[in-house]
């Protein structure tokens, strides 16, 4: 495969952009490869600047659940842009979009739109602290909630990928207010609340973790979290930036039948444009300015282009209800990878919930970040490079999820598994 233009662009990019990229994992450092520069996408495919074609399992890290450049989403953006790009004033679209989110997600009674998942979680944490008048928060080891200071402690995703140890730039005083506990371990949560219960503002969790690779919790785990947080008057925040509108139209909370106090969104909600949101119980949301005292604002928040892309994608999802289809596609890949592992003797743990899937190169069961880290990242990197070479674009890290879209056909999945078989054989 000729990737000359990508190589040249990367050389050039590194002169002007830190690491040649605008988000660390894109640099392909952990997989010891040069990044591919993308020119265009359509459906489940992307093309790079050298005109190589790939089946894409990154989908811009999750947003493009209907695939790249979906005709209806693109047309809607084109049309609305004729009216202007931003006003910094209320628009009808924001009302429509808010109604769509509230209609979809049971626990959400009011919503505020922002521009990214990071902003959504940062704002939700501020709101939880303001509402409860408490300082400490609980997050889980290996969960990533964006790069807000309070949340960038023992985070997954790129932080885990690059093995960045501490949290340089984040004052110890602030980091010490974040209690980090192992995922899927309810005793640890009980102990923390026994010790610090009166000072814990909230528990924030990826209801299905995707940023240490995919790790699923049990329904009982979420129920217990809900009970404990209620008992101590702390808020339960479901960070559904990745899972929202992906695992079901009502998000992971619908799947697990849990009623969190606040929920954060990003990715799918924006249809590929920069949108985040946080929402929840009216009583809590009314603590946000201008109704309440907790300040949060945004010049481009509720931007008409972004609202249009998001709303169009949500309307299509509601209409198509593709979640069973996505789950079946996910199952096909999961079973395929397990079979390939057996046939080639390369041990892997395949974790999946719906259309999120991770192949961990370990012989251990992966239930938390500690077990996720038993994976052989070098082996993953080899697998990644082999797949890339064969035209399959995977997330460039062991600690990320592969995402599926409605645009991946049965043939694409079979093609992917055939290539994976070849790559596993090279590893065995």
Residue 292, exposed/middle/buried by CB under 10 A (0-12, 13-18, 19+)? middle
Residue choice 48, 56, 239, 376 for contact with ligand PMP (CB under 6 A): 239
Quick one: 91 or 118, whose CB is closer to ligand PMP?
Answer: 118
362 makes contact with ligand PMP (CB under 6 A)? no
Quickly tell me which residue has 């999750």 as its tokens.
62
Q: Is 110 helix (H, G, I), strand (E, B) or coil?
A: strand
310 makes contact with ligand PMP (CB under 6 A)? no
> What's the closest the beta carbon of residue 399 comes to ligand PMP, in angstroms?
11
Residue choice 41, 43, 142, 146 for contact with ligand PMP (CB under 6 A): 146
> What's the closest the beta carbon of residue 157 comes to ligand PMP, in angstroms?
6
Contacts with ligand PMP by CB under 6 A: the residue count is 17
Exposure string (b/e) for 353-375, b if CB count within 10 Å is 16 or more? bbbbbbbbbbeeebbbbebbbeb
Cis peptide before 329 (omega within 30 of 0): no
| Separation of alpha carbons 224 and 214, rounded Å | 21
Quick one: 24 or 347, whose CB is closer to ligand PMP?
Answer: 24
Q: Write the CA distances from 360 to 156, 205, 237, 343, integer angstroms.
A: 15, 21, 27, 17
| Separation of alpha carbons 151 and 204, rounded Å | 9
| Separation of alpha carbons 75 and 288, rounded Å | 34
Q: Is 377 helix (H, G, I), strand (E, B) or coil?
A: helix
> What's the closest the beta carbon of residue 116 comes to ligand PMP, in angstroms?
4
| Separation of alpha carbons 174 and 284, rounded Å | 23
> What's the closest the beta carbon of residue 143 comes to ligand PMP, in angstroms?
7
Residue choice 153, 212, 242, 314 for contact with ligand PMP (CB under 6 A): 242
Quick one: 1 or 17, whose CB is closer to ligand PMP?
Answer: 17
Q: Which residues pair with 236 in a beta bridge?
A: 203
Q: Is 153 helix (H, G, I), strand (E, B) or coil?
A: coil
Structure tokens at 265: 């969104």
Structure tokens at 209: 């973790």
**Given the rule CB under 6 A, which of 39-47, 177-185, 203-211, 286-294 is the region that contacts ligand PMP?**
203-211
Tell me how many degrees the CA angle 251-24-387 measures, rounded to the nearest 5.
Answer: 75
For residues 82 to 121, the per-residue mask of contacts with ligand PMP, x marking binding by CB under 6 A and - elsewhere, is: ----------------------------------xxx--x
Quick one: 241 or 340, whose CB is closer to ligand PMP?
Answer: 241
Q: Helical H runs in 133-272?
A: 157-161, 172-175, 186-196, 219-232, 252-256
216 makes contact with ligand PMP (CB under 6 A)? no
> What's the closest the beta carbon of residue 63 comes to ligand PMP, in angstroms?
9
Neighbours of 174 (CB within 10 A): 14
DSSP letter at 213 equals B
Residues of this chain, 261-290, that bind ligand PMP according to CB under 6 A:
266, 276
Quick one: 116 or 154, whose CB is closer to ligand PMP?
Answer: 116
> What's the closest the beta carbon of residue 95 comes to ligand PMP, in angstroms?
23
241 makes contact with ligand PMP (CB under 6 A)? yes
**Residue showing the smallest CB distance to ligand PMP in the complex:** 117
Quick one: 107 or 341, whose CB is closer to ligand PMP?
Answer: 107
Catalytic residues: 144, 239, 267
**Given the rule CB under 6 A, which of 71-79, 139-147, 299-307, 415-423 is the region that contacts ligand PMP?**
139-147
Residues 6+ apart with CB under 8 A from 233: 132
Structure tokens at 223: 């129920």
Strands across the sheet with 45-48, in order? 38-42, 45-48, 53-56, 392-393
> What's the closest the beta carbon of residue 242 comes to ligand PMP, in angstroms?
4
211 makes contact with ligand PMP (CB under 6 A)? yes
145 makes contact with ligand PMP (CB under 6 A)? yes
Quick one: 235 or 340, whose CB is closer to ligand PMP?
Answer: 235
| Separation of alpha carbons 119 and 33, rounded Å | 31
Residue choice 123, 157, 167, 344 for contact with ligand PMP (CB under 6 A): 157
Quick one: 118 or 355, whose CB is closer to ligand PMP?
Answer: 118
Neighbours of 49 (CB within 10 A): 17
Q: Which residues bind ligand PMP (CB under 6 A)?
A: 61, 116-118, 121, 144-146, 157, 206, 210-211, 239, 241-242, 266, 276
């Amino acid at each position: 495969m000729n990737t000359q233009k990508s190589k040249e662009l990367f050389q050039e990019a590194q002169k002007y952009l830190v690491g040649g990229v605008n988000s660390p994992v894109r640099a392909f450092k952990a997989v010891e490869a040069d990044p591919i520069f993308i020119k265009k996408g359509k459906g489940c495919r992307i093309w790079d600047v050298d005109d190589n074609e790939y089946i894409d399992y990154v989908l811009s890290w999750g947003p493009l659940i209907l695939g790249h450049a979906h005709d209806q989403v693109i047309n809607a953006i084109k049309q609305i842009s004729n009216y202007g790009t931003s006003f910094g004033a209320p628009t009808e679209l924001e009302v429509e979009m808010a109604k769509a989110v509230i209609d979809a997600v049971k626990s959400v009674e009011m919503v505020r739109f922002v521009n990214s998942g990071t902003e959504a979680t940062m704002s939700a944490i501020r709101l939880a602290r303001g509402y409860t008048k408490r300082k400490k928060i609980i997050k889980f080891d290996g969960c990533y909630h964006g790069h807000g200071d309070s949340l960038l402690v023992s985070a997954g995703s790129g932080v885990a990928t690059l093995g960045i140890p501490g949290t340089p730039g984040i004052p110890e005083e602030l980091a010490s207010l974040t209690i980090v506990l192992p995922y899927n371990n309810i005793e640890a949560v009980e102990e923390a609340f026994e010790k610090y219960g009166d000072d814990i503002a909230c528990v924030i969790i990826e209801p299905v973790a995707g940023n240490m690779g995919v790790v699923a919790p049990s329904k009982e785990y979420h129920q217990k979290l809900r009970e404990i947080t209620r008992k101590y008057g702390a808020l339960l925040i479901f960070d559904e930036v990745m899972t929202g509108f992906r695992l079901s139209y009502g998000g992971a909370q619908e799947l697990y039948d849990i009623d969190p106090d606040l929920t954060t969104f990003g990715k799918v909600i924006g249809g590929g444009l920069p949108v985040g949101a946080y929402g929840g119980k009216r009583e809590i949301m009314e603590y946000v300015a201008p109704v309440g005292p907790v300040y949060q604002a945004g010049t481009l928040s509720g931007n008409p282009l972004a609202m249009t892309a998001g709303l169009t994608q949500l309307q299509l999802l509601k209409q198509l209800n593709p979640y069973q289809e996505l789950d079946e596609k996910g199952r096909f890949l999961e079973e395929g990878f397990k079979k390939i592992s057996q046939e080639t003797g390369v041990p892997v743990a395949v974790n999946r919930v719906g259309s999120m899937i991770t192949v961990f190169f370990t012989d251990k069961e992966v239930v938390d970040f500690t077990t996720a880290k038993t994976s052989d990242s070098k082996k993953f990197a080899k697998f990644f490079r082999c797949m890339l070479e064969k035209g399959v674009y995977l997330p460039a890290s062991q600690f990320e999820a592969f995402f599926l879209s409605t645009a991946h056909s049965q043939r694409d999945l079979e093609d992917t598994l055939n290539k994976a078989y070849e790559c596993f054989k090279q590893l065995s």
